Amino acid sequence: MKRRPAKVNSLDNVYINEFVKRQLEGKLFRAILDHKFKLARILVEGDVDVNCRLRTGVTPLILICDQKVEDHLRRMQLHLVRSLINRNADVNAKDNFGRTALTYAFLSGDLQLVRVLELHGSSSWIWDVNVSFYRQARESVLIISDLNIHFHRWNSNDFAKEIH
């Protein structure tokens, strides 16, 4: 007797495709966190959704801009940022705190990243006040730039005391 192939419901294919998509997105975030930028570029160039988000609203571009890397990895980090932007990553996407990739690039202190983001259309006026309601210090930032960088950091608790 010949075996017939199992009939797979088209709805099953949708679930399988969604599962695989989520797995690849998770691998992209993990590769960025582990500073495996070559693997991350392969995933990006393999059509992983570059605008995918974690529950916190973080995108791959935000995550890569938040990474402080050693000098020998900086070039690969910039290549990954350019790959994400070339694949239409949203440079103005905000996480749940309202911070963009440009904000995190400033906070990490990498001016090359800042320049790349600004040259590719990132909004250059950023007013970021993340006041903690639990009286914990949280860094806040004011950025006024267009390749002429003005940057000011302060403790958000100090700012909160001034406005009360």
Chain segment 64-73, per-residue pLDDT in tens = 998 888 999 9
Percentage, residues of the chain above pLDDT 70: 68
Chain segment 18-54, per-residue pLDDT in tens = 888 889 899 999 999 999 999 999 999 998 999 999 9
Please give the pLDDT value at position 146.
Answer: 53
11 pLDDT band, cuts 50/70/90, is low
Please give the pLDDT value at position 160.
Answer: 42
Q: Which long-range contacts (CB under 8 A, 24 or more apart) does 62-65 make?
A: 62/93, 62/95, 62/99, 62/100, 62/101, 62/104, 63/29, 63/32, 63/33, 64/32, 64/40, 64/101, 65/101, 65/102, 65/104, 65/105, 65/108, 65/110, 65/113, 65/117
Please give the pLDDT value at position 103.
Answer: 84
Q: Does domain 10-122 have CATH number 3.90.480.20?
A: no
Please give the pLDDT value at position 18.
Answer: 82
Please give the pLDDT value at position 124.
Answer: 60
Residue extents of the structural domains in the chain? 10-122
Chain segment 109-163, per-residue pLDDT in tens = 788 898 899 888 876 655 555 544 444 455 555 555 554 544 444 444 444 444 3
Please give the pLDDT value at position 135.
Answer: 44
Please give the pLDDT value at position 43.
Answer: 94
Residue with the bigger pLDDT between 63 and 154: it is 63
Please give the pLDDT value at position 14.
Answer: 73
pLDDT at 79 over 90: yes
Structure tokens at 132: 């903690």
Residue 112 CA: distances (Å) to CA of 5, 78, 105, 128? 55, 8, 9, 21
CA distance 100 to 132: 19
